[in-house]
Structures are given as C-alpha cells and as structure tokens.
Structure 1
Amino acid sequence: MTDIRNNADHYPQRIVCLTEEPTEVLYALGEEHRIVGISGFTVRPPRARKEKPKVSAFTSAKIDEILKLQPDFVIGFSDIQADIARELIKAGVEVWISNHRSVDGILAYIRRLGAMVGAAEKAEAYAQKAEQQIARIEAAAAQFKRRPKVYFEEWDEPLITGIQWVAELIRIAGGEDVFPRMSGESLAKHRILADAGEVVDAAPDIILGSWCGKRFRPERVAAREGWDAIPAVRDGELYEIKSPIILQPGPAALFDGLEAMHGIFAAWDRGQRG
C-alpha cells in the first residue's frame, strides 16, 4: 500500500494571517510560502509587505478578497476579530483565533502554530531561542542595584495602561509595573485610568509610551498637570517603545521589545550607581 504521506502535504497550503504575529512566526520558521494574505498592519518581517497581498485591518477585513485567495486556513487573534471569523466560517473557511495574553501564551502560540503547519521541530527550536533570550535578560536584570518603577502607557486619550504580556516583560527586563492589578484585564477599556493623578501617586522612575498607531510625544506627557512631580518626568526618563515590537503578542515582543526595555532599564541602573 502506498504511504499517502509521501504524496501530499496534509498541512494548510493557503494561509491568510489577519494579524502580524502568525506572519512573523511563519516567516521565522521558513514556512512563508504557505501565506497568501496578510494584515495591512504587518511590518515584520519587512519583506512580507512586498510579497503578500494585504486583506485585513484589525477589526475589519475584506472578506470577498480573502475568499478569492481560496484559503484553507485563516489565523486571527482575540475576541475583537470574532465578527471576521464568523463571516469566514459561514463561508466554509477553517479559522483559528488565538486569544493568548501572556509571555507563556506567546511561547505556546509559536509551538502550536508550528505544529499546525508541520514544522513542530523548527517551532520548538524557535521557542527555545526566545526562552534563552528571556533567561539571559532576566539574569542580567537580577544584577540591578534597584528595580525601577515603570509606568507603561498604551494610549493617551484616555490613559490606558499595559496589557499582561507587557507587564510581564517589564518584570523580566528588570522593572516593576506600577499598575500590575490592571494588566490582567484583556480589554483596553478595562485598563483605562480614570484619574491621571494615580500615575503621580505611583511615582514611576521611568515612563514608557507605545501609542498604538501614532508617535509617542514625551513633551505632552511631561506637560500634564501635576506630572512634573513624577520622578520620571523630573529626570527626563520618558521613552517610546515602538508599537510593532511590544503591542503584538508575538515574537517581536519577546525579542526586540524585551531588548529595548532592558536597555532603558540598564541605563537607568547605571545612572543610579553614580
């Protein structure tokens, strides 16, 4: 009897990625040939924007354009894309919506996605590389004289604090998130600070801004009423972390996002040592 496994690839051949993280993972695993459509917000890897048609935003998608691509698998993220998923499922398309919000969740996501496309070994190696990066930075951060208190701002009007994986990466990088109780809220509307005075009271040593879709303006933050009393404002410790490397629950956050935060915290620590 002929082994049919030698005659066909039984894994998805035509994948549409509704967000950036599956695109980044598949490229990293050398499985980019399976991708036939991507999110318009994709910036990593840069070549993906040149090679793949853009068929979705985050909360909306060109359903007709996606169907024309004849996908056998569509990958999305979070309840926010539930409506897109429903339309595609009604059209007979297989859809996987992940909903991870933690560092462990990102690592598991890499492994699951790799297994789904028949690249489990490559995915395991890639996940282990990320784990090694995390361990290296965590060990370096353990040498800090003092861990800086950190306020992470995801949006400015209204003020929105960081999500779970961001708070966890802050800790790994050597800082202490000043609003840890809020990071567990998956929806941004539940992470809104009703009173900006809470940040003043928290007295962060460092302020990190990543305003999704627009440039972080530290001078505007520093000019907020009463914020001149905050150590971070007083000492000029306000920094932007580019949203593509921190606000996507994918490899970018574990590699570039974590590295960027640790660099800022390490410089602050050196300053504390005089």
Structure 2
Amino acid sequence: MKQKTLTDQLGTSHTFETSPKRIISLVPSQTELLYDLGQEAKIVGITKFCVHPYHFKSTKNSVGGTKKVNYRKIKELQPDIIICNKEENTQEMVERLREICPVWVTNIITIEDNFQMIADFGQLLDCRTEAQKWNGKLAFALSDFKNFVAAIPVRKVAYFIWKKPYMVAGSDNFINELLKLNHFKNIYDTKGRYPEVAIEEIVEEGDPDFVFLSSEPYPFKKEDGYEISNYTEKAQTVLVDGEMFSWYGSRLLKAFEYFKMLHKKL
C-alpha cells in the first residue's frame, strides 16, 4: 500500500507508510471481527476477555484486561497498531499506549457506526473485499430483521447489566440502539448512559413489561430474577445473552438470529 492517512471514529488522523502487520486488540468484539476479516496471522496480543474465537486463548498473548493492561508486555510485542474503543478502554490508557505506537479508537453507538468501523478496518488493514462482504451480509440480515420485527408491538423493558449496585443500560449506547431495533422501549433511557437504579422504584420508573438480566458484565442467574420480580407484578424477568446485545462487529449477524428466537420465546 502507498502511504495513506485515515481517520478513526474519534476524529484522530493517522498516517501509515505500510499496512499494519502486528495488531494488538483490546476489545473482545473487535478481536472477533478481526478474525472474521481474515486478520488472525497479524494479531499478536489480545485481552483476557477476548473469548472468541476460542483458540485465541492458547495461540495469542494476553496483555491484561480492557481497563488495565501490562504496558511492558505490549511494548515487547512490538505492535504497529493497537485497536481500542472509546467505551471499553480508558482515555488514560489510550494516551499511554500512544507512546508505544498508533492507537486506533472506535466509537460504536449506532448500527451505522458498526458499518463504518468494518469499512475502516477494510481500508486500514488492506482487507477491503472481506469488509465489503461482511457489511453486505449485515445489511441483508438487518433488512430481513426489520421485516421480521415490523409487526411486533413496542413493549417496555429494563435492561440490567450489574448488581450491587443495580445498574442498567440507559441511552446513548449500543445496547439501547439494539433494544429500539427490537421494538423495546427502554424505561431508563432518560437517565444517562449506565445509571445506577433503585430496584424498589422500578414500577414508578416505567413499570416494564420485561426485565432483561444480561449475562455480562455481571453474570445474572435465575435467582436474581426471582429477587427482582418481588418489586414488579407484571414484568416477566428474562435472562438474555449479553454478547448479543452489546457486542458489535461481526457478532451482529448472530445477534439478529438470536433476537428472532427471543421474540418467539416472549
């Protein structure tokens, strides 16, 4: 590739003499996407939370978590790009990592942002054909899902992500975008991005039809559902797969199928 200047989703401009060959990915869903874009051989470092594809656990170097990393280990791996995300990684981390090599930061709130990220990776990593294929598959699946969900009425939901204290998905995040796509009205969408909530006030807050208990970051169990149901008479508590609601990238293709099954179950 000739020298090229590309801009990430935070508006930061990066100039590359050659296409990056040694990648560290500090975002689990983006690690999965890079694999699906055919970039496995270039990935030299991942986080301990990068669980897909499964074999990366034994074939790739773990450099820490998404909020805390081993900078010395990262430096020793001699990356020529580190891929981060505005929400998953901290600004302080990104600034420190920039002392090692360029840091590409994604920012995914909407499905449009997701298409943009995939197209950007196609440009950045010289895998435009794969990126176009994935965006084509996702566009087709999105259109199909919108047809599927068209006849489903809008119902109210609370989406819990944490316990002690109870925290939920609010507005201005990918989870809320996917809830809207599924015709769910988030009762906490005026409370900020990930507000702490009082469970005993759930009826006054919006009296949801469903309470979704996510499998991540807090691994909710059935017992938690019984506990929450003490505070709401009508809401059905449902354990949901957090990866399907919060992972962007290529995971979205599986998510559309999962959402269809979820609606049939509800």
TM-score range, shorter chain: 0.7 to 0.9
SS of residue in 1 equivalent to 2:45: strand
What's the offset of the Cα at 1:72? 0.5
Alignment of 1:2-81 (within 5 A): 10-78=18-86, 80-81=89-90
What's the offset of the Cα at 1:245? 3.2
Question: Distance between the aligned counterparts of 1:52 and 1:101, measured in 2?
Answer: 28
Choose 164-173 or 55-64, whichever is displaced more: 164-173
Deviations 1:144-187 (A, max 9, x none): 2x3332211111222222252112212222333222324xx44x
Aligned to 2:184: 175
Question: Distance between the aligned counterparts of 1:217 and 1:240, measured in 2?
Answer: 7
Question: Distance between the aligned counterparts of 1:264 and 1:245, measured in 2?
Answer: 11
Structure 2: where are the runs of 5+ without partners?
A: 4-16
SS of residue in 1 equivalent to 2:181: helix
Aligned to 2:210: 206
Question: Distance between the aligned counterparts of 1:135 and 1:178, measured in 2?
Answer: 26
Aligned to 1:271: none
Aligned to 1:114: 122
CA contact (8 A) 2:67 2:90 kept: yes
What's the offset of the Cα at 1:138? 1.5
CA 257–239 in structure 1, closer or farther in 2 if over 3 Å, else same? farther
Output the amino acid matched with 1:263.
Answer: M
CA 130–227 in structure 1, closer or farther in 2 if over 3 Å, else same? same
Aligned to 1:95: 103
CA contact (8 A) 1:148 1:265 kept: no
Aligned to 2:167: 160
Aligned to 1:260: 258
Question: Distance between the aligned counterparts of 1:225 and 1:264, measured in 2?
Answer: 20
CA 123–158 in structure 1, closer or farther in 2 if over 3 Å, else same? same
What's the offset of the Cα at 1:117? 0.2
Q: Does residue 1:241 correspond to 2:240, yes or no?
A: yes
Question: Distance between the aligned counterparts of 2:246 and 2:2, measured in 1?
Answer: 42
What's the offset of the Cα at 1:98? 1.8
CA 20–209 in structure 1, closer or farther in 2 if over 3 Å, else same? same
Question: Distance between the aligned counterparts of 2:254 and 2:200, measured in 1?
Answer: 31
CA contact (8 A) 1:210 1:242 kept: yes
How many residues in Structure 1 have an aligned counterpart in Structure 2? 249
Q: TM-score, normalised on structure 1?
A: 0.81
Structure that is richer in helix per residue: 1
What's the offset of the Cα at 1:211? 4.9
Aligned to 1:150: 157
Deviations 1:10-34 (A, max 9, x none): 2000000011122111111112111
Greater C-alpha radius of gyration: 1
SS of residue in 1 equivalent to 2:126: coil
What's the offset of the Cα at 1:107? 1.9
